Chains A and B, each alone.
Chain A
Amino acid sequence: MTPTPAALQPRPSSRRDPEGITEAGPGRLALEPGQQYRFTFDMGACIGCHSCEVACAEQNGLPVEVSWRKVGEIEGGEHPHTKRFHLSLACNHCLEPACLSGCPTSAYTKLSNGIVAHDADSCIGCQYCTWNCPYSVPVFQPDRKIVTKCDMCSPRLEGGFTSACVDACPTHAIGIEKVDVATWRLDHSNGNAPNLPSSDLTLSTTRIVLPANLPADTFTPNQHHLVPEDAHWPLIFLTLLTQLSVGAMATAVGFRRTGHGSTAGTLIAAAAGGLALAASLFHLGRPAVAWKALRNLRTSWLSREVLAFGLYAPLAMATALVPSLGTVAVAVGVIGVLTSGRLYLVPGRPAWNSRVTLLDFLLTAAAIGPPLALLAIDQPSAVTVWTTMVAVSGLVLLTFANLGRLWLAGTNQTRGTVRLTLHRFRMLTALRATLAVGVLIGGAFSLGHSGGQMMVGAMAAATLMSSGIGRYLFYVTVVPASMPGSSFRGAR
């Protein structure tokens, strides 16, 4: 709970917009019940000077890689009637903050004054909030290995001063005002602007005053300038190894049921599960406090994933000793794979945000798990080979069908993903498809009882490589939703 700011010093003001508060004043910031603070932004008044960004960095002593407030550009119209407007945005202190609901450690709090606050002590640096926020507001701060973000200069508000960005804006384009939460929940259309994700997603509260002469069609200077996202190698390993483990475990358990079982299959599946958990630690900025990821089972799919795999890994190992636990282990594992897939369904990452991701993860488990189990068990099995072949073909078909869907969705982000997949990463995409064809050929030989374990081994390797490339592309080709960028600064 933050106290209502008191004893605010009045400052001379030459504001343009009588509704906005660009200067703190006594009583002006005292909240009535049902109100919260929010930023306002007058697009017609902004001259794109970036003073707010610099003032924010100075106020918070931020390193150069980290900006809590960013100024983006949108442009439209034809010379000499061209219009370029700037959009200066920090945190939108949403009514339904996606950063907060997704955070596995409950590091985020919606304060009574509406400010979405972030607690550094709780943060484990998993960066899930950076995916969840459709505006790319929270940023990973490399020197601290945690995420940090705008808190509307809470210490300043409490001290009776206005935020640094508001204070610095030469044209008073940025302000802070009070908003009635219930009213805004009903109508938040004034939170929208061209090239900005819809305020519907998280009920962003920043009120944006659009200029009257806004061109009908606008673009952002960075929208044709696609920069691949981080590959997140620990996550590639985490997701592939868990799917490998669950797929192999299911195969091994199936063999046991038909009486051909050996513990080798179970063991290798359990080992993959253990490795996956180890890999996940490398993704965290602060692995020492990884346990905090279990704090938000109530709303965070990441917490749920951690719980599911946290249960699955020991169960998988126990199965090697107590085979009857196998069915439970597989069930928990499948739940794990589904929670794992579910956490990618975030509006901030449009290319991921569909059930295709769930299907992808399940099919991957079906594709890469069985050949591995087969190698360990050393038993021919037509069903298993068929499963792999169907899953691998399914994955490739799914990918291309999804690219079609993303293209038709028609947004800069979804089309950006298609462009990255088919243009920038065309070699990898082709290699992935070629490997899948290789798997089918190998499978056909295998079904014809030729090649033996060598052929199964080759199939396993090709399947794994094809899926590995697929997963790499999954991470690097996603184009995040965000506020508009500028020529030199993208969304991040």
Chain B
Amino acid sequence: MDFLRPVTWEQALAYKAERPEATPIQGGTDVMVEINLDKGRPAALLDLNPVAELTRWSTEGTEIRVGAGVTYTRLIAELGPLLPGLAQASRTVGSPQIRNRGTVAGNLGAASPAGDAHPPLLASGAIVEAESVRGTRMIPITEFYTGVKRNALRPDELIRAVRIPAAAGPQYFSKIGTRNAMVIAVCSFAVALHPGERRVGTGIGSAAPTPRRAPEAEEFVAAALDWEGRSPLDPGAARRFGELVAGAAAPIDDVRGRADYRLHSLAVMARRTLGWAWNDYTGRGPA
């Protein structure tokens, strides 16, 4: 197993072009699990840690560009007000030790259906900035997940950053697990209100082969909400929203939970998070 240690982004891209089979490693929290548990052994590791630019984030217009090396810990501490949904999800990732090393880009690279970052990225409409020596591709998050633990990256591409619209309205993330902490989601859900566009974004985790949105639920509720008058959330509409979210999922039975439980709890989380977000929007405070 080779260890490639680029210092600049250009070097990293050159390495990846030369050794497309190399596995990029940032914090190691996903890659090393695979290695230690003998699930596979990459031919080479491409260490992106020394590439300093990846650890920065910046505001570009209404977008936050989060470098691939920004850890969950920093995301929580520094980006909470701008990306509240993602910050909430980040806080539920593993343990503080994992969050000090793990990154959103790593979550995207692994593309596990249970990754906590995915639902808020979907709800916000994030864009993955992928790059190779051939150029840059802006991949909409909805096109990024292509299968269980598979993504749209080409063999010579690396994730350079994730571009996430700054929150224009309330955002919430919810996750169900058996333990109080250190939990892999039984299922998870994120909602983001986009009041300017009269739109609601959603993201479902751990309840389908890939993280996914619930487009029908989004359309339904965007039309059902009283954006102008800010009247309270109609319980019937909230229920319907929950049903439509559950309807968008395609869960399986596994060690963590039965499919029917996942559908039920998704509907609950959708209802709850929508209620919290709407209360924030209408100024009613927490439910």
B and A form one assembly: no
Which residues of B pack against A, CB within 8 Å? Answer: none
